[in-house]
Amino acid sequence: MAKVKPLLKILASVWIVYNIAALMVMPNIGSYFGRVASKFVGPYANVVGLNAGWNFFSPDPAHPMYLKVVVNYPSAEDGSYREPLFTSYPLPDEENKAVSLTKKREWAVMRFMVMDPRRLRQIFGPWLCRQYPGAESVDMEHVVETLPLLDEAVLNKDINLLDMSQERRYAKASVRCDGSGDEESL
């Protein structure tokens, strides 16, 4: 009987740890870890009713989004042609990995502008025209780069994440820089 008590303590401890693992895994079954670990705790959790998903862990990261901007210039009087300027808003900040307050504001402005494509034509386009004097027109396009799912990234770990992402285009707007569209027309 003396040898049975330590064995019962060990089995009870393993059972408690297993239950805690089920409590931690099953509420977030949609995560990568949840899908992998559900093979071990899923059948037990389904039987005892611990299979409710609460999704209390952080959500998926936001997809990178920006505005592609093409600034078109008129032909010169001598017939020469000035190449259009291709840029984006907000500009990528390659050298500085810490996000500044200004960069956060630029992201917020860009997201606000793309919520309604009229804002691109009536507010953001005229502002861009003032930023690039001599421009004839400005073309804007909202681009979202989709991130691959974690399962796909793990399966294709030899492939760069940027190569697996896809560009999705949403709002488009074009503005003539002759002063005809300004924010007072809202």
- 5-61: per-residue pLDDT in tens? 888 999 999 999 998 888 888 777 777 788 888 888 888 888 887 776 554 445 556
For residues 138 and 72, state if they share a domain.
yes
For residues 81 and 113, state if they share a domain.
yes
For residues 81 and 25, state if they share a domain.
no
Report residue 80: phi and psi, to 5°: -70, 155
| Residue 80 placed within a domain | yes
Question: 65: number of CA atoms within 13 Å, CB side?
Answer: 21
For residues 42 and 69, state if they share a domain.
no
For residues 35 and 84, state if they share a domain.
no
For residues 72 and 157, state if they share a domain.
yes
Distances (CA, A) of 121 to 71, 102, 132, 186: 14, 23, 16, 10
For residues 28 and 83, state if they share a domain.
no
Q: Does the predicted model carry a pTM greater than 0.85?
A: no
For residues 38 and 129, state if they share a domain.
no
The C-alpha atoms of residue 120 and residue 104 are separated, in whole angstroms, by 19
Q: How many domains does the chain have?
A: 2
Residue 20 domain boundaries: 4-48
Q: In this predicted structure, what is the pLDDT of residue 6?
A: 86
Q: Is 132 left (phi over 0), alpha (psi -120 to 50) or beta?
A: beta
For residues 104 and 76, state if they share a domain.
yes
- 154-172: per-residue pLDDT in tens? 788 788 877 777 777 877 8
